[in-house]
Amino acid sequence: MITHYLQNGTIDDFHVDTFQDYSPRLAERLLDVLESDCNDLMVCIPYAFRNSSVYKGYGRTFFEREWLLRKKFVVSAAGRRLFGDSCFTRFYLGRKDIKDKVHYVALLRQIWNGKDALVVEGEQSRLGVGNELFSNAASVVRILCPATNAFSKYDRILESVTVSAKGRLVLLALGHTATVLAFDLSKAGFHAIDLGHIDIEYEWMRMGAKEKVPVPDKYVNEVSGGRISTGLQDSAYLSQIIDRVL
């Protein structure tokens, strides 16, 4: 079970995000994740907190600033667990340490190779649609959730995922909500991974993008022109949707 933590704002001092308003309940749940001693859960924080040189330009400055804001939370938990890298799915833009990105993507795809996958995503995220990212999965079904402020529907989302997760690998792309969801699913005995921005990073790699840009038919919260997505009519994609919690 892999859940992202302390990436683009957490606890009681969120950044002003375009996809999640501050919630006292969410802040409390995120702290629960950080302080958890669950052996079946890998909590991830940015490796750049330890070594910011893996990024260049603004990316390096961003993580150095974030470390100053978040270090009190990390230091308090550092002696209790081993952290993974929450940016393991941010492999393209600004990243210097991953040289062979095509090979890196191939390694990531082994996570769901031959497995039945349940994708839990924002309603316009459309992970793997229009590319072959999940083509090696045995099957893919989807639960669509709000593109913004998904945590306001958290209880309903958790209920829907729990009903459909048996026998499936749960792949999450739902902002801060995914962090808490992966935690709760791990306690319930399910396998889940917070994949964050994997699909958008992959699309940028395919495009050869030099900066963050809109991606056609997909909601990109980090780009002002990417926060509007079209009504995609793709029969294969639509057939994969098994529930909508909106």
Amino acid of residue 18: T
Please write the tens of the pLDDT for every residue from 10-49.
Answer: 444 444 455 788 899 999 999 899 888 888 999 998 999 9
Contact criterion met (CB below 8 Å) for 41 and 21: no
Name the DSSP letter for residue 7.
S
How is residue 7 written in tokens? 């990436």
Task: Give whole-number Cα distances, 110 to 78, 103, 104, 136, 227, in Å.
Answer: 29, 11, 10, 8, 30
What value, to the nearest 5°, has the Cα angle with vertex 201 and ends 123 and 10? 70
What value, to the nearest 5°, has the Cα angle with vertex 183 and ends 16 and 137? 100
Please write the tens of the pLDDT for every residue from 93-132.
Answer: 999 999 999 999 999 999 999 999 999 999 999 999 999 9
Burial class (CB in 10 A: 0-12, 13-18, 19+), 231: exposed
Query: CA-to-CA distance for 16 and 176, rounded, in angstroms?
Result: 13
Count: domains in the chain: 1
Identify the CA nearest to 191 among candidates 112, 81, 128, 89. Answer: 112
80-100 mean pLDDT: 91
Mean pLDDT of the chain: 90
- What is the extent of the structural domain holding 193? 2-244
pTM given for the model: 0.92
What value, to the nearest 5°, has the Cα angle with vertex 5 and ends 4 and 10? 135
Please write the tens of the pLDDT for every residue from 160-180.
Answer: 999 999 999 999 999 999 999
Sign of CA dihedral 84, 89, 94, 96: positive
pLDDT of residue 17: 53
